[in-house]
Structure 1
Amino acid sequence: MMALLLTAALTLSLSVLLSLSSAKQASALCVASGFSGTWRSSDDRLSRIDVWHGEDCRLYARAWSTCEHDATRDCRWGNKELQATESRNFRFFSYNWSNANEVLQLRLKDKTHMSVWDHTDYNSGKKVSFTVLMVKSR
Structure 2
Amino acid sequence: MTHASSVRRPLRQMTALFLTAALTLSLSALLTLTSAKQASALCVASGFAGTWRSSDDRLSRIDIWHGEDCGLYARAWSTCEHDATRDCKWAGTKEVKATESKNFRFFYYNWSNADEVLQLRLKDKTHMSVWDHTDYHSGKEVSFTVPMVKSR
What TM-score do you get using the length of structure 2 for normalisation?
Answer: 0.88
- What fraction of aligned residue pairs are identical, expressed as a percent? 82
User: What secondary structure is seen at the aligned counterpart in 2 of 1:104?
Assistant: strand
* Runs of 4+ more than 6 Å apart: none
Q: Which structure 2 residue ranges, 5 or more long, are not aligned? A: 1-13
- 1:56, 1:121 → 2: CA distance? 31
Greater share of residues in helix: 2
Question: How do 1:98-113 residues align onto structure 2 when only pairs under 5 Å count?
Answer: 98-113=112-127
| 1:82 partner amino acid | K
Match of 2:17 in 1: 4
What TM-score do you get using the length of structure 1 for normalisation?
Answer: 0.96
| 1:64 partner amino acid | W
Match of 1:97 in 2: 111
How far 1:93 sits from its partner (Å)?
0.5
| 2:40 partner amino acid | S
Indicate which of 76, 83, 89 corresponds to 2:95: 83
Q: Which structure 1 residue ranges, 5 or more long, are not aligned? A: none
- 1:47, 1:105 → 2: CA distance? 15
How far 1:50 sits from its partner (Å)?
0.5
- 2:63, 2:43 → 1: CA distance? 16
Indicate which of 92, 110, 135 corresponds to 1:121: 135
| 2:24 partner amino acid | T
- 1:102, 1:74 → 2: CA distance? 19
How far 1:84 sits from its partner (Å)?
1.1
How far 1:29 sits from its partner (Å)?
1.0
- Paired residues, what number? 137
Q: Considering only aligned residues, what root-mean-square deviation do their CA atoms show, in Å?
A: 0.8
How far 1:34 sits from its partner (Å)?
0.7
- 2:67, 2:98 → 1: CA distance? 14
User: What secondary structure is seen at the aligned counterpart in 2 of 1:73?
Assistant: strand
- 2:130, 2:137 → 1: CA distance? 23
